[in-house]
Structure 1
Amino acid sequence: MTSCKNASLLPTAPLLALAPPSGLPGEVQISLGILLAELLLVGIAFGVLGIWLKERDVAARIAGMDTSIEGIKTANSVAPGLPGIGGDPVSRFVDGVSLVLDELERSRQELQESRDRYRLLFDSGNDFLLVCAVGREGTPYRILDANALACRCLGYAREELFALAPRSVILIRSNFKRDDHRLHSADLIPREGERIPVEASIHRITLGGTPAILVIARDVTERRRTEKELMDYRYRLEELVTQRTEELRAANESLRREMRERERMERERTEAYRQIERNIEQFAVLTDHIRNPLQVVQGMADLIDDERSEKIREQVRQIKAILRQLDEGWVESEKVREYLERYR
């Protein structure tokens, strides 16, 4: 089609202007006709050559465009632009394509920056992050993404997790509510080692048009260990309180017994004091009762003038000595009583 368009632009009027005059001889007319035919053939040849060169240039530029477009398809970067020379329609088309490629390059850079920010935020957190695709019934059936912490703790590469079912790496046990947020008690199942207890929150999202869930899980091993230590300490404290209460109860019971014993001893001592006072009074009365008959006996002995009276007097003197000892004992008893009364 390009050859036909270029052929239509060839000058035809000059050929008509070179037609031989009709008044020339026949041989001259024939020579001029041959010359004109040769000139016509040479012009046609140059025209065909120009058309061929133009087609080759256009084909080369289109081939360069194809190469750049293939590079866009196969590489992660966009070519800075397509080569364009001149102001013909092809060059203007190349300039437009270059503008489109520049816009694609800017969009690619912005998309790459957005992906880098997403990956940085996704991998820099302190929580386990799992993105799982869900089916129509809402059950997760495939892992779409996982952050670096989840991969490291589970012992899998990210590509290996893509081939695993979600239930093989996380087990949801129960759900509970805390501060108006519904959480799930779960266990992460690593490739090796013990399970990791976590508290997880599940959020429904859409990733590339695919329904998915985002599982945000936090390791609670340390917190559960602390809670267990606090619980053990609480039980130990309760045992100590119970033990101390028993000891205090036993001490109180012993103190009550001791107080009752002291009260008994105090009553007995008071009764002993009273008995001592009664005995002292009885001693005083008794000595008086003894002295009065003794005076009578001594008077009777004085009336008898024989050996018997002397024996009676001797006995009277012994009895009086005993009475003096009793009086002295009574005085000492009074002193003891006063002492006891003072310091009891």
Structure 2
Amino acid sequence: MHSEPPDDPDTLREKIIGLGETSLHKSYYPELQSRLAELERFRALLDQTHDAIFLIHAETGRLADVNASAGMYLDCSKKELLATPFIKWISPQKKAVFDEFARRSCEQLPASRWTCIASLVSREGRETPVEITVRSVTFGDKQYIVAIARDITDRLQAERELKIKESALESSTNGILITDLAGTIMYANPGFASIFGYERGEMLAGRSLEIFFANPAIGKKVTDLLRKNHAITEETIGVRNGGSPFHIQVSGSVVQNDAGQPLCIMLIVMDITERILIDQLKRETCAQLGKNIEQFAILGDHIRNPLQVIVGYAEMIDDPLAKMILDQSDRIDEIITQLDRGWVESANVRQFLRRHGDDAEPRVETFIQRFSIKDWDS
């Protein structure tokens, strides 16, 4: 204050060096300490983050500062990193891109932000795939580039696995359908589109599941069962694009998240028309086999009756040829006996087929081999 007497030289000296009661140094020191503590906390936070952070001189491309994670990625100390240009640690495929961005930053273009996928190459040659976000900033009269690199190894692995699963769904010959919990189609693979006569699976998105069944009530039954967390397998009649019916088998379940909450419905649809026709043919063949077995039994009796008459007359004839007649009659009787055995075995096979269906086919093959044509040559 002008009204106050001026300080003597000793008092003024004490204020300047911080010894006086109203020292300038004492006035600003607490605030300075607070700011330094805040900077230390911020620095510790940056060092704890898993992302690697690089501060780059835009003009020279050299590193001005890095956090602790950067050294971990590159197997280098902070001192070693600050003695190198940032471009040294970028994979060769992306070096030219970073050079161009640095050049444009030196031209003092407005602050911009850019993200790319690259690899950081450590001193030992170990590559780490990262997503790098780059931004130009200005501190005072100097321009810098801030690069934040995030390890995406797990993400890339998950994406590869997802692509494999997507490829499996796309290439499956079975129809695969994903719907919401109400039965509205979210995804249909090419196999499903082909089975139901559509050009592309995308054409089916948003449609109701029920339109693909000859009886729409079946579609509602499927979604109702699945919403109650029941896995289902149903054989029913489907409807192709254009209205033609065909036999299908539908199996499905509800997809749940880690917490057990339902997310969507997944169905697998197979065209079983050919199998149904084969089953029908088997039933008809089995029925025909039964008729043939009955005919074999009747024919055996019809042959034996006249054969007995021939044998009776031959035994009454006193002639050398009678013995030949009796010998041939015995051979005929043996053949009829073999036919009888075949009839019994055929009846057993028929019953076995009825009980065991397709599982009996190897046994039937053995039976056919046993009674081949050579058995009837005589």
- In the superposition, the TM-score normalised over structure 1's length comes to 0.42
Q: Which protein has the bigger strand share?
A: 2
Structure with the larger helix share: 1
Q: Which structure has the bigger radius of gyration?
A: 1
Instruction: Give the structure-2-normalised TM-score.
Output: 0.39
